[in-house]
Amino acid sequence: MFAAAVFLLQAACGGSAIRVAPRPALTFPLIEEARITCQGPLLPRLVEGPEGLLLLTTKTGRLQALDTEKRIVRWTFSASSTSVSPVAASDRIFLAVADGTLYGINPAGQMVWERKLEDPVRGELMVVGSQLIYRADQDVLVSLNAADGTRRWRIPSAVRTDPSIWGDRFVYGTTDGKLRVVDAEGRLVRNWPLGGAAAGRPFVLGDRAFVSLEDGRFEAFDLPTGKKRWSIRLGGIPIAPPAFDGRNLYAVLSTHIVTGIRANRGDLLWWHPLSGRAAFPPLLENKALIVASRSPVMQAFVGRSLTPTTALEAGREIATTLLIRGGILYLGLNGEAEGTGTLVMLRLEPPALENKTTPGTRGEGDLR
């Protein structure tokens, strides 16, 4: 079911409806709130850490925890070079480096454990409950215990893509052109042909998986049955999970465009060129689609018509994913001086409102 759920609250007296007041639309370009100077060059993923920290990692393996309230780098954990961004749970941060070492780090930046992996991390590291899941060389999928980095299970062959989570199961594309589902212990649940080689992590939404194929097709499958729902040729491959507004998917493609697709039918609704190279997933925020690319310009597409506008002229090429928290949009830039970086904090205008209700006011949904 792809329609967004709508919940109505009834007033305690008189039976009149009380509904959430609509938030005013964002105003572009966004206003800069502050900057925090850190080390670079930055890996492209900005990560939410424990205790409200934001995590930025350099290609040389320096994990930095930024305190956005005090606007300082609270601590730095130094390891060796890496291309894998860290992941975080409530009380741990996990960092994998190129020599095959995996670190478990506490919120104070202290190493809790260190483990040399038999199968070094090559895909994206994921923390799922008590497990760390990742794709390794030789088409292997590995699960580790998050408590100490010891191995739980290992699927030894045919793993082509990073996995996605479906309830307590994992979904991934195989080297022999199939979509495979395994349970939390790595046991096979489902396996069916795709009709082509998967390209990139499947995107799971409810009981449906959206899969990119190397030949440019983008297809939807029902996970319980394996039935294909639709297929469309996009001419490019989504480089990251799409954004979903309750009705439509918005994907950034390898051909450096952003496009909108009707989720339940596969209709191509809209597309627009990016200002730079495709690199980051899009964000939906208060009736606006916000997209960063490898360029100094962050774009926004607003309203029902998705009218393009400039969300930010950053001055330097955007280096990380976007993250929104507490009415602030965060992004990373590499600094002008070699080995430096910057976390930029942008105030969403108007500021995000608290949950307030206004009698008789009709709320507005997201993009439709």
Query: Tens of pLDDT along the chain (368 residues)?
Result: 444 433 333 333 444 455 555 667 899 999 999 999 999 999 999 999 999 999 999 999 999 999 999 999 999 999 999 999 999 999 999 999 999 999 999 999 999 999 999 999 999 999 999 999 999 998 999 999 999 999 999 999 899 999 999 999 999 999 999 999 999 999 999 999 998 999 999 999 999 999 999 999 999 999 999 999 999 999 899 999 999 999 999 999 999 999 999 999 999 999 999 999 999 999 999 999 999 999 999 999 999 999 999 999 999 999 999 999 999 999 999 998 999 999 999 999 554 445 544 444 333 333 43
pLDDT of amino acid 358: 41
Which CA distances in Å does 66 have to 48, 106, 320? 10, 14, 15
pLDDT of amino acid 25: 82
Where does residue 143 rank: exposed (0-12), middle (13-18), buried (19+ CB within 10 A)?
Answer: buried
pLDDT of amino acid 195: 86
Which CA distances in Å does 348 have to 27, 39, 245? 8, 26, 19
pLDDT of amino acid 18: 53
pLDDT of amino acid 349: 57
pLDDT of amino acid 15: 44
pTM of this structure: 0.88
Phi and psi, residue 50, nearest 5° = -70, 160
Q: State the residue for tokens 């960063």.
A: 292
Q: What CA–CA distance (Å, rounded) separates 324 from 331?
A: 9
Q: 50: helix, coil or strand?
A: helix
Closest CA to 333 of 280, 260, 258: 280
Sequence-distant (≥ 6) Cβ neighbours of residue 212 within 8 angstroms: 198, 199, 200, 218, 237, 238
Sequence-distant (≥ 6) Cβ neighbours of residue 236 within 8 angstroms: 216, 253, 254, 255, 256, 257, 278
pLDDT of amino acid 297: 98
Q: What CA–CA distance (Å, rounded) separates 292 from 47?
A: 16
